[in-house]
Amino acid sequence: MGTRSYIAAALLGALAIASGASAAGADTPGVTSKEILIGGTIPLTGPASAYASVAKGAAAYFKYVNAHGGVNKRKIKYVYRNDEYDPVKTFDRTRELVQQDHVFAIYNTLGTETNLAIRGYLNQVKVPQLFVASGASTWGRDYKKYPWTIGYQPSYVAEATIYGRYIARTAPKSRIGVLYQDDDYGKDLLAGLERGLGKKKGLIVSKQGYAVTDDNVKSQMARLKAKRANTLMVFATPKFAIQSYSTARQLGWRPKVYVNAVASAANIMTIATLSSSKRQTEGSISVVFLKDPTDPRWRRDKAVTLFRSILKKYNGGKGLNDVYNVYGMSSAFTMVDALKHAGKNPTRDSVMKAATHLNERNNPFVLPGIAVKTSPTKRFPLAQAKLERYHNGRWVYFGPLVGVR
């Protein structure tokens, strides 16, 4: 521990010294007079390949920005490599991006374990790890030890806090059963739920964990039902979330379901409905912070229209209904914003400074009213969301914006 904190202190010290003398713009890796090179990894194949749109949406947006002059006359070149969602490959590809391609920064790498695998290395070599595509709270929380890392989306703790508060306020007599993935991500959600419930923590009658390597969640679901829970928290990735709906139906159990945002995309809910029933998914609750391109509310919205035209022009017209593409563009918008504020000759220090001083009220891809805001000690760019309810095969959001850190 002693050595670790020593290293952290050394890193912080180096950061402080370096930011004091940021005149060395010419030697910044990945930055030329015409181009800024950034890179990251994403699962293009394998079980998590649905998330590939997170990179593709961002890449399309950068091409659009480049076609309109780029950032301070520089084009943004974004390379993303396939890591198959395997942290060992993430580390290997990231090292290649840093040592071989000499990227300016690592950006938008997706996944909790994958990003944990490279965080120590990137902070050691002082390469920014920007806008991590994962909701683990450690990206925003542990900045003292990892000053070169910053997250993006609302944290899992924040999300579950919103559920907890909502239940405590609107249904204080619930009997809550929790199904959660037994790792850092699932435990973050569980902690958030308990925080949100506060004094009503006793409403939780049972918590059932599953391992990512499990085949199904049947036994967990049966135990939750046996505890006579009437409210079910699904803190699970898409495959298991879909299973929890179908298993509940097989058990003849119809609890009120809260499904976490990483499994509540419209297309996943459609599969969940098909594998259970309309009545089973009806009334489910989740949170939303992006404009869902399938929501009729945004049919004529400027940003969603732009979103479609960008995909048509730079992504072969693919993924028009894919909310992960919206995520990618939202994140890319923030990246462009950070680069603009990193000065005429951006350095790794200056972009880190910009990323920790964001104040974006005009990101068109997030829900109206949501600000992308950070400070050196508050490193959660997106920290607001709205509750949404699944009704007649669509998500409909309701209530005010809720902000939680």
Partner 1 sequence: MRAIARTGLRVLVVGVAIGVMIVLPSYVSDFHSRDLAQAGVFFIAIVGLNIVTGYAGQVSLGHGALMAIGGYTSANLVAYHGVRDVWTIPLAGLLTGAIGLLVGLPALRLSGLYLALATFGLSVAMPSILKHFSGVTGGDLGLRLVEEAPEKITGLSGTVTIWGHTLTQNHFLYYLTWSIALVLFVAAWALLRSGTGRAFRAIRDSELAAESFGVNRALYKTLAFGISGFYAGIAGSLLVVSAEIVNPLSFTFLLSITLLVGTVVGGLGSLSGMIVGAFFLQYLPDLSDRVSSAPGVASVVYGAVIILVMILLPGGVGGALKRFSDPLTTRLYTRSQ
Q: Which of 387, 395, 289 is nearest to 334 (CA)?
A: 289
Q: Could you tell me the smallest distance in angstroms from the CB atom of residue 99 to partner 1? A: 4
343 near partner 1 (CB under 8 A): no
**DSSP notation for 349-366:** HHHHHHHTS-EES--TTB
Interface pattern 231-270 for partner 1 (x via CB under 8 A): ----------------------------------------
Binding to partner 1 by residue 214, rule CB under 8 A? no
- What is the C-alpha to C-alpha distance for residues 232 and 249, in angstroms, rounded to an integer? 13
Find the binding residues for partner 1 in span 10-49 (CB under 8 A).
45
CA distance 94 to 41: 7
For position 88 contacting partner 1 by CB under 8 A, the verdict is yes
CB of 383 to partner 1, least distance (A): 26
CA distance 86 to 372: 30
Kindly state the smallest distance separating residue 88's Cβ from partner 1, in Å.
5
Report the alpha-carbon distance of residue 296 to residue 149 in Å, rounded: 36
Q: Which is nearer to partner 1, 143 or 397 (CB)?
A: 143
Q: Retrieve residue 203's tokens.
A: 């409403």
Rule CB under 8 A: say whether 116 interacts with partner 1: yes
Separation CA 355–CA 357 (nearest Å): 6
Joined together, the tokens standing for residue 397 give 């959001």
180 CB contacts (<8 Å, ≥6 apart)?
Answer: 186, 187, 189, 190, 207, 208, 209, 210, 233, 235, 236
* Number of residues lying near partner 1 (CB under 8 A): 25
Structure tokens at 346: 């951006």
Residue 209 in contact with partner 1, rule: CB under 8 A:
no
Interface pick for partner 1 out of 35, 92, 142, 301 (rule CB under 8 A):
92
- 142 is a site residue for partner 1 (CB under 8 A): no
Element (H, E) at 56: helix 52-67
Of 127 and 339, which CB lies nearer to partner 1 in the complex structure?
Answer: 127
Instruction: Please state the closest distance from residue 50 (CB atom) to partner 1, in A.
Output: 15
Query: Which candidate, 93, 73, 75, places its Cα nearest to that of 83?
Result: 93
Distance CA 178, CA 191 (A): 11
Nearer to partner 1, 1 or 300 (CB): 1
When binding is defined by CB under 8 A, the residue of 12, 35, 96, 336 that contacts partner 1 is: 96
Least CB distance from residue 49 to partner 1, whole Å? Answer: 10
| In the complex, minimum distance from the CB of residue 4 to partner 1, in angstroms, rounded to a whole number | 8
Closer of 96 and 282 to partner 1 (Cβ): 96
Q: Please report whether residue 95 would count as binding partner 1 according to CB under 8 A.
A: yes
| Nearest by Cα to 130 from 110, 116, 149, 115 | 149
Give bridge partners of residue 291 from the DSSP assignment: none
Binding mask 178-207 for partner 1 (x = CB under 8 A): -----x------------------------
Q: In the complex, which residues of this chain contact partner 1 (CB under 8 A)?
A: 3-4, 7, 45, 86-88, 91-92, 95-96, 99-100, 113, 116-117, 119-121, 124-125, 183, 211-213
